[in-house]
Amino acid sequence: MVESSAFIHRFEPATAPGLPPLLLLHGTGGDENDLLPLGRAVLPGAALLSPRGQVLEGSMPRFFRRLAEGVFDEADLTKRTHELADFIADARTRYGLQAPVALGFSNGANIAAALLLLRPEALAGAALLRAMAPFAKPPEAQLSGKPVLLLSGELDPIIPAANAAGLAATLERAGAAVEHHVLQTGHGLSQADVGLLEKWLAGQRAKAA
């Protein structure tokens, strides 16, 4: 079990009742502060848990190593995914949280997808922004209706459309309730992403009420 102190992180307690906590997972070169404004914007009043990736690529934090752009070190990814799941479990006890919904961008979305496949109990759901398939041969998982939002960019130079579609199909085969949108944008986030995130999170909140 990895202790929470192993991850530098930010935590903001909830200020409104009945909202799922958000686990904010930054992209390459980001940190624990990057996605806090987005989390506050798309689900105001929710508890926010935002760890910093523990791997450095040069000076840029990441959640796991890669061998080249789009080529992941799957052994490291597996190890780091279990470490992150253990951190989530410890943080839930420390802060009194229910299972969070992951909100991940790029590298953070990729490890969130890996969490769904390797440690599905860690998450109540996930919003994956510019995610790609984390494993060449995905492990078997039982996601039993777990809600997943996948937002891809049609003009994304990093993630081929077929890869994002393959990830959506993998999660659907595992039983997840997947909502996949392909936006007219590149790898960066757009206002359309924010609007879809707000709508999806509002729907999840309504189902839980």
Active-site amino acid positions: 106, 156, 187
User: In the structure encoding, which two tokens stand for residue 204, read together?
Assistant: 């999840």
Sign, CA torsion 85/129/33/200: negative
Best CA proximity match to 1, nearest among 66, 73, 94: 94
Beta-ladder partners of 23: 49, 102
Reduced to 3 states, what is the DSSP secondary structure of residue 179? Answer: strand
Q: Of the candidates 67, 65, 37, which has an alpha carbon nearest to the alpha carbon of residue 50?
A: 37
DSSP class of 44: T
Residue 43: count of CB within 10 angstroms of its CB: 24
Amino acid identity, residue 5?
S
CB 22 within 8 A of CB 32: no
- CA quadruple 100, 101, 106, 107: dihedral sign: positive
